[in-house]
């Protein structure tokens, strides 16, 4: 199934211009599964065509999905009249069918080109619930994230939670920590950031704690 929407040129007053020479058309392609439950409509491609005056450019993105409807590969083809600007984002998932945790990735990679043979541009690993890499999540709380900085090194971010699953702290590469303080299980009282130098800034989020202009309070 394909759906298309068009947007005409807009004047400064916010209305479509008469005889506008600028417009954008977006076409969405879907793969439909309607034979049995669960029904699905997966957005497999987006094509955007933009016309400005006499110039027309078309951009295209295609997507692949796993059995759970997660995007496993998204290819940005860039301009369809040019080669060399394609980028692939590939995502791998570990699912927990018993708890129906189906959409959390454990690995995401970005490549130049349209397949896994291209140059690796970016790679991120995700760890959940304090468990080993690729272990199926039990609660779904992201506890460690590793972002590759070179082919042999990476930056690690860690996250802590309370018993309700609310995030309490996020530490980036062991240097900077952001913490969330709550007076109630789901209500944030203040947000604090501690730098590697030991300097800490607190940003209250309740009216009684605000300073002039709601600026962070150094502590």
Give the pLDDT of the chain (219 residues) as one tens digit per residue.
Answer: 888 777 665 544 455 455 555 689 999 999 999 999 889 999 999 999 999 888 999 999 999 999 999 999 999 999 999 999 999 999 999 999 999 999 999 999 999 999 999 999 999 999 999 999 999 999 999 999 999 988 889 999 999 998 888 888 999 886 788 887 766 555 554 465 655 555 555 555 544 443 434 444 444
Contact call for residues 52 and 25 (beta carbons, < 8 A): no
| Alpha carbons 117 and 78: distance in angstroms, whole number | 18
pTM for this prediction? 0.77
| Residue 66 domain-assigned (yes or no) | yes
- Cα 91-96-102 angle, rounded to 5 deg: 45
Closest CA to 178 of 163, 186, 188: 188
| Residue 48 domain-assigned (yes or no) | yes
The answer, yes or no, to whether the previous bond of 174 is cis (omega within 30 of 0) is no
DSSP string covering 185-219: TTEEEEEEEE-TTS-EEEEE-SGGG--GGGPPEE-
Q: How many domains does the chain have?
A: 1
As given in the structure block, the two tokens for residue 99 are 């708890």
| Residue 31 domain-assigned (yes or no) | yes
Domain ranges, residue 117: 24-122
| Residue 161 domain-assigned (yes or no) | no
| Residue 175 domain-assigned (yes or no) | no
| Residue 97 domain-assigned (yes or no) | yes
As given in the structure block, the two tokens for residue 80 are 């369809």
| Residue 54 domain-assigned (yes or no) | yes
First to last CA, the chain: 58
Contact call for residues 167 and 161 (beta carbons, < 8 A): yes
């Amino acid at each position: 199934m394909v759906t298309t929407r068009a947007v005409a040129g807009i004047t400064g007053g916010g209305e479509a211009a008469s005889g506008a020479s600028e417009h954008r058309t977006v076409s969405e392609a879907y793969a439909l599964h309607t034979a049995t439950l669960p029904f699905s409509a997966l957005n497999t491609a987006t094509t955007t065509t933009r016309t400005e005056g006499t110039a027309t450019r078309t951009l295209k993105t295609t997507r692949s999905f796993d059995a759970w409807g997660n995007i496993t590969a998204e290819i940005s083809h860039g301009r369809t009249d040019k080669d060399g600007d394609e980028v692939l984002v590939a995502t791998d998932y570990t699912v927990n069918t018993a708890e129906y945790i189906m959409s959390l990735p454990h690995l995401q990679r970005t490549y130049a080109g349209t397949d896994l043979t291209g140059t690796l541009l970016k790679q991120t690993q995700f760890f959940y619930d304090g468990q080993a890499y690729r272990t199926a999540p039990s609660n779904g709380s992201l506890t460690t994230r590793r972002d590759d900085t070179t082919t042999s090194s990476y930056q690690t971010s860690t996250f802590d939670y309370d018993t309700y699953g609310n995030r309490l702290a996020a530490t980036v590469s062991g240097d900077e920590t952001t913490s969330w303080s709550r007076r109630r299980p789901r209500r944030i009282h203040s947000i604090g950031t501690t730098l590697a130098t030991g300097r800490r800034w607190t940003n209250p989020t309740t009216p009684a704690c605000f300073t002039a202009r709601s600026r962070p309070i150094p502590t």
